[in-house]
Structure 1
Amino acid sequence: MRREAARLEGLADSLVPRASAVVRKVAFDTEADAKALAPVDTGNLRNSITTVVTGNGLTAAVVATASYAPFVEGGTSRQAPQPFMGPATDRNTPMFHEAMSQLGGDG
């Protein structure tokens, strides 16, 4: 039982850096896609898109800090939506799932 526990602990220790690398890559790819998809008037919206990585690299958030970003993304009663964050996330989610599923394998 102790040998199995030690093996599992070692496996977990090796997975954290690899999982962190996946999280970071997908987050920064998502950021790049969101910036490419964001409508540009002054460039402020695009420039406000950033990635915040926390939790030993196991958590990441891609955010647009411009105060009007949600209104551009979702639209208003006077403006049609111009989604950029949602499509960027949708594009990168399958890559995230695929890469994470490979972590438990041989490579």
Structure 2
Amino acid sequence: MEADISELLNLSVSLAAASIPATDRVLARGAAQITATAKQIAPVDTGYMRSSITPKRVNHMEHAIISQANYSGFVENGTVHMRPRPFMRPALDKHLPSIADALADAAVRIF
């Protein structure tokens, strides 16, 4: 017995194409929210680290929040001489549930 699945393959491709813009919008919005929160809670000495926190679109399925300050990791994670003062992880933790909900809502609208 043979089955022709070409229509299913076409449908799969169409659904994937429809999901890309919606996913990208949700992730971009989430990255902006995480960025804003990270900037609010980042410790400030000169203000350079806070001002260097920006969202970056890697691709339609990946957005990153970066800090150009080369010492950001030391501030976030601490060192043997300095306690951690996290700002990126708490910002991510705050917004991750709402981003996951928004992605689920987008999927429901597409499918």
Identity of aligned residues (%): 33
Name the SS of the counterpart of 1:50 in structure 2. strand
- Of 78, 81, 100, 2:103 maps to 100
Aligned to 2:71: 68
**Inter-partner Cα distance in structure 1 for 2:72 and 2:50:** 9
Residue 21 (structure 1) aligns with: 25
* Secondary structure in structure 1 of the residue aligned to 2:74: helix
Separation of aligned partners in 2, 1:33 and 1:7: 39
What displacement does 1:73 show? Answer: 0.8
User: Which stretch shifts more, 93-102 or 3-12?
Assistant: 3-12
Structure 1 gaps, min length 5? none
What amino acid sits opposite 2:92 in the alignment? Answer: T
Report deviation, 1:76.
2.0
**TM-score normalised by structure 2 residue count:** 0.86
- Asked if 1:43 corresponds to 2:47, the answer is yes
Name structure 2 gaps, 5 residues minimum.
Answer: none
Counterpart selection for 2:86 from 47, 60, 83:
83
User: Residue by residue, what CA displacement relative to the aligned partner does 1:35-68 show, whole Å, maximum 9, x if unpaired?
Assistant: 011011110010111111022x321110112111
Q: SS of the counterpart of 2:30?
A: helix
Between 1:74-83 and 1:34-43, the stretch displaced more is: 74-83
Bigger CA radius of gyration = 2
Q: How far does the alpha carbon of each residue in 1:9-51 deviate from its partner, in whole angstroms, 9 at most, with x for none?
A: 2211111000000111111111111101101111001011111
